[in-house]
Structure 1
Amino acid sequence: MSSTPLYLVAFALSYLVGSLPFGLWIVRLLKGIDIREHGSGNIGSTNAGRVCGTKAAAGVFVLDVLKGLLPPLIAHRFGLSSLGVVLCALLSVIGHNFSVFINFKGGKGIATSLGALLGVAPFVGLGALTVWIVLILATQTVSTSSIGAACLLPPLCIFFYRHDTPLLSFCCVACVMAIAKHKANIARLKAGTEPKIRFPWSAKSDLVVVNSLDSTPVSSTLPTSQKAQTSQEKSPDVP
């Protein structure tokens, strides 16, 4: 019973750390605007990059990963049980997805889930990251890569950690949350209207730039019919 306060404090702090909306704060600091009113409206690293550039995206990504990684590592350092450590990891992801600082709204939890997995199940985290990289190179679609990596979390956990029930439960919950958060993206993927990102070696027609939540893509390389179709869609939501 004496350890109960320690667990409660650890759980509360894990959620609060996960809730820190770094994407919102960094974009507001750099440009004085609300990232939720621009691009996809998401507070994740890709939308931060769309609004503020590559350096902002990198900063948000690293911070979002860290806020998933640090809670379970610190919980382990303070002697919490394996279940307690996994719950701290899960609460950090829940905090990102449903942040107390922005009316219990948030991002999609992909970067934070990666950090949490690196803290409690590093082989699963590295495996999922590898899958994400392969899919993004193959499809140039962030949502496809994120959903694909999320769907492989439970199988990867079973493969690497066998019968670790707390870890498997965490992977299953993280998978479900990621898919649920990508509901709009899935609809666009089915309709064939999900925009792609552009690599230096990709065709110009793959580039879609959106200036605000409901604005029309400004890429002059898109066919007229595709411009008209894309103008009815938001840009893709991302981690």
Structure 2
Amino acid sequence: MSLFALFYMIFAYLLGSISSAILICKIAGLPDPRKNGSHNPGATNVLRIGGRWAALAVLICDMLKGMLPVWAGYYLGLTQFELGMVALGACLGHIFPIFFQFKGGKGVATAFGAIAPISWGVAGTTLGTWLLVFLISRYSSLSAVITALLVPFYVWWLKPEFTFPVALVCCLLIYRHHDNIQRLWRGQEDKMWGKSKKK
């Protein structure tokens, strides 16, 4: 990995550390997502506490944090492995943001944005998997976990040279959802729509 790529990965991490949810909620005069709803600074929680337009803005910004540095990396001549590490850097920034005491979101939108430029085929199957599981279960967290488990296989099939860094990103996503996995196991996880269960 070149020195330039290392610095560029650090740049991707710093870009990922900018919390769209916290900033957009502050600008819109909405409650702090870290202290309301699920206490997660991400688009799903902003949807609960601030409505669909604020959530859409957060979703787009979170995706761009992952997409733009990877996309630009292609034009900067980074190798395939280096591009994968840049994607990992952006996701690490979102999940462990240096600007917000290393307490960030769960990284789903940022990871999707980072993976999309690597392969639009992978992006399509990833989005399709998430939507299918979500439409069946109505659990955003379950959709994210199952998709994260399957994405490395999609990448291995379509773009095998990116399998290792993408697998690292997916392991990070699954780890970040460990509380949700426990609640799903106990039947205490809230669905996006429908009657919520007591925790």
| TM range, smaller chain | over 0.9
Out of 172, 175, 180, which is 1:185 matched to?
180
Q: Does 1:172 align with 2:162?
A: no
Q: In the alignment, which residue of structure 2 is the partner of 1:207?
A: 195
In structure 2, what is the Cα distance between the partners aligned to 1:11 and 1:155? Answer: 24
In structure 2, what is the Cα distance between the partners aligned to 1:21 and 1:141? Answer: 23
In structure 2, what is the Cα distance between the partners aligned to 1:26 and 1:136? Answer: 25
1:44-193 map, 5 Å = 44-161=42-159, 163-164=160-161, 167-193=162-188
Asked if structure 2 preserves the Cα contact closer than 8 Å seen for 1:19 and 1:99, the reply is: yes
Q: Does 1:24 align with 2:12?
A: no
Q: In the alignment, which residue of structure 1 is the partner of 2:41?
A: 43
Partner amino acid, structure 2, of 1:92: A
Q: Structure 1 unaligned runs (5+)?
A: 199-205, 209-225, 234-239
In structure 2, what is the Cα distance between the partners aligned to 1:154 and 1:7? Answer: 23
Give the match's secondary structure for 1:153: helix
* Residue 32 of structure 1: how far off its partner (Å): 5.2
In structure 2, what is the Cα distance between the partners aligned to 1:23 and 1:104? Answer: 15
In structure 2, what is the Cα distance between the partners aligned to 1:73 and 1:197? Answer: 31
The TM-score with structure 2 as length reference comes to 0.94
* Residue 121 of structure 1: how far off its partner (Å): 2.8
Q: Deviations over 1:87-123 (max 9, x none)?
A: 1111001110110111111111100000000022322
Out of 2, 8, 14, which is 1:10 matched to?
8
Alignment RMSD, CA only?
Answer: 1.6
* Residue 49 of structure 1: how far off its partner (Å): 1.1
Change in Cα spacing, 1:32 to 1:144, as seen in structure 2 (3 Å) is closer
Change in Cα spacing, 1:139 to 1:56, as seen in structure 2 (3 Å) is same
In structure 1, what is the Cα distance between the partners aligned to 2:120 and 2:143? Answer: 19
Percent of aligned pairs with the same residue? 32
In structure 2, what is the Cα distance between the partners aligned to 1:160 and 1:68? Answer: 20
In structure 2, what is the Cα distance between the partners aligned to 1:35 and 1:194? Answer: 18
* Residue 33 of structure 1: how far off its partner (Å): 3.3
* Residue 207 of structure 1: how far off its partner (Å): 3.2
Q: Structure 2 unaligned runs (5+)?
A: none
* Greater helix share, structure number: 2
Q: Which runs of 4+ in 1 moved over 2 A?
A: 6-9
Asked if structure 1 preserves the Cα contact closer than 8 Å seen for 2:18 and 2:99, the reply is: yes
Partner amino acid, structure 2, of 1:176: C
In structure 2, what is the Cα distance between the partners aligned to 1:32 and 1:135? Answer: 30
